[in-house]
């Protein structure tokens, strides 16, 4: 159940009774994926204005930088989201087995 609730990062941790972990995973996911999406959506308008003003070199520089920043933030956000799922599963299993020390540990996703 804790893994299924991780559709929203942090809900699995709330289900396991760990509100600090829940807040960490929710905020870390929001503050990485959110700005990444905003960067692409708001940057499109700015890019069009640069092209309309015939600033091609500046447009290419800004476009390349924003794509790299978007990829970095988006992948980092997906990492936090996957880590929330991993942590919820391992914590729920540790709580079921009675391992309080293992349940308190924060688990991060590993490739």
Residue 9 pLDDT > 90:
yes
Torsion of CA 42, 47, 49, 51, to 10 degrees: -170
With a threshold of 0.95, does the pTM exceed it?
A: no
Q: Do the beta carbons of residue 105 and residue 32 sit within 8 Å? A: no
Q: How far is CA 3 from CA 39, 53, 97, 99, 100, in A?
A: 30, 50, 17, 18, 19
Q: What is the pLDDT of residue 111?
A: 53
Residues 34-87 pLDDT 10s: 999 998 888 888 888 888 898 888 888 888 888 999 999 999 999 999 999 998
44 vs 31, more confident: 31
- Report the pLDDT value the prediction gives residue 80, as an integer from 0 to 100: 94
């Amino acid at each position: 159940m804790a893994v299924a609730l991780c559709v929203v990062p942090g809900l699995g941790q709330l289900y396991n009774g760990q509100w600090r972990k829940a807040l960490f995973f929710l905020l870390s996911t929001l503050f990485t994926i959110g700005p990444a999406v905003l960067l692409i959506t708001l940057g499109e308008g700015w890019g069009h204005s640069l092209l309309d003003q015939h600033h091609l070199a500046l447009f290419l520089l800004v476009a390349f930088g924003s794509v790299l920043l978007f990829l970095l933030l988006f992948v980092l956000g997906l990492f936090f989201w996957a880590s929330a799922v991993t942590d919820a599963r391992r914590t729920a299993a540790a709580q079921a087995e009675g391992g309080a020390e293992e349940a308190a540990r924060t688990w991060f996703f590993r490739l």
